[in-house]
Amino acid sequence: MKILVCISNVPDTTSKINFTEGDTKFDTNGVQFVINPNDEFGLTRAMWFKEKQGAMVHVATVGGAQTEPTIRKALAIGADEAIRINVEPTDGSFVARQLAEVVKNGAYDLVIAGRESIDYNGGMVPGILATLLDMNFVNTCISLEVEGAVAKAVREIDGGKETIETSLPLVIGGQKGLVEESDLRIPNMRGIMMARKKVLNVVDPVDAPSPTQDKKFEKPTAKGPVKLVDATNIDELVNLLHNEAKVI
């Protein structure tokens, strides 16, 4: 089985976010970038397939040279080969069209993408990718098993879970549940050294439209001051909740 894991290079959730040029551009200065968490769950599941079933695992990202530390981490975790599409991502449709070309050229049996990235939260890429490739698709996937050409997946639905059986080739939009946070891997020194010798192919982008454009960013409204109430003063707490917060 040949697997492609789509990796998004996203800001660490602890980073301080700012915007420039009249709040039209994201300011990357001083921001630490990491593997998108939903993608990391997928990468860890792909490593299970590699270790248990002998799968070959490639990773791909869309971005400039600044994304290479992130994709090198994926190699250090255990991916066999990496592909960087040398263009700045604009929107989900554009990214999906770039990744679709990689899948077509690589003849992958299974494509694992995160259900969404934690920066723009578009949630578009895996679905568009499956449509472009005319491949089976399971979104919000929380469990995946593959035997031969048959995949058994579990996905979250409103109010419950749904178990699906389908065939390869397959695209999934994965999330926590494919593996748990405790299963995520930290590259060890041997993995880091081996990653330096693994192939990182830089490929040119294909012509593709960007149907959407970011016009302006706006930060959430700052939280107001916090009022502390003595634990023994129940009357004051009830008064504040009723008359000021108006939640009771």
Mean local confidence (pLDDT), 178-190: 92
Question: pLDDT band for position 222 (50/70/90)?
Answer: confident
Instruction: Say yes or no to pLDDT of 214 above 90.
Output: no
pLDDT at 129: 97
- pLDDT score at 164: 95
pLDDT for the residue numbered 184: 94
What is the mean pLDDT of the segment spanning 142-151?
A: 96
pLDDT score recorded for residue 245? 82
Mean pLDDT to the nearest integer, 26-55: 95
Check pLDDT > 90 for residue 17: no
Q: How confident is the model over 229-238, as pLDDT tens digits?
A: 898 999 999 9
- pTM for the predicted model, two decimal places: 0.87
Domains of the chain: 2-219 (3.40.50.620)
Can you give the pLDDT at residue 120? 86
Separation between Cα atoms, residue 166 and residue 160, nearest integer Å: 20
pLDDT value at position 212? 87
The average confidence (pLDDT) of the chain is 93
223, pLDDT greater than 90:
no
At 213 the pLDDT is 84
Q: Could you say which DSSP state residue 91 is in? A: S
Structure confidence at residue 219 as a pLDDT band (50, 70, 90): confident
- Whether 135 shows a pLDDT value over 90: the answer reads yes
Nearest Cα neighbor of 152 from 169, 165, 136, 161 is: 165
Q: How many CB atoms lie within 10 A of CB 135?
A: 20
Tell me, letter by letter, the H, E, C secondary structure of the chain. Answer: CEEEEECCEEECCCCCCEEECCCCEEECCCCCEEECHHHHHHHHHHHHHHHHHCCEEEEEEECCHHHHHHHHHHHHHCCCEEEEECCCCCCHHHHHHHHHHHHHHHCCCEEEEECCCCCCCCCCHHHHHHHHHCCEEEEEEEEEEEECCEEEEEEEECCEEEEEEEECCEEEEECCCCCCHHHCCCCCHHHHHHHCCCEEEEECCCCCCCCCCCCCCCCCCCCCCCCCCCCCCHHHHHHHHHHHCCCC
Q: Report pLDDT for 227.
A: 84
Tokens of 78: 């255990």
Residue 246: predicted pLDDT: 85
- Judge whether residue 244 has pLDDT over 90: no
- Give the pLDDT of residue 226: 85
What is the per-residue pLDDT for 152? Answer: 97
Instruction: Confirm if 135 and 148 have CB atoms less than 8 A apart.
Output: no
pLDDT digits (tens, 9 = 90+) for 73-89: 999 999 999 999 999 99
pLDDT at 224: 80
Contact 91, 122 (CB under 8 A): yes
Asked if pLDDT for residue 128 goes beyond 90, the answer is yes
End-to-end CA distance of the chain: 57
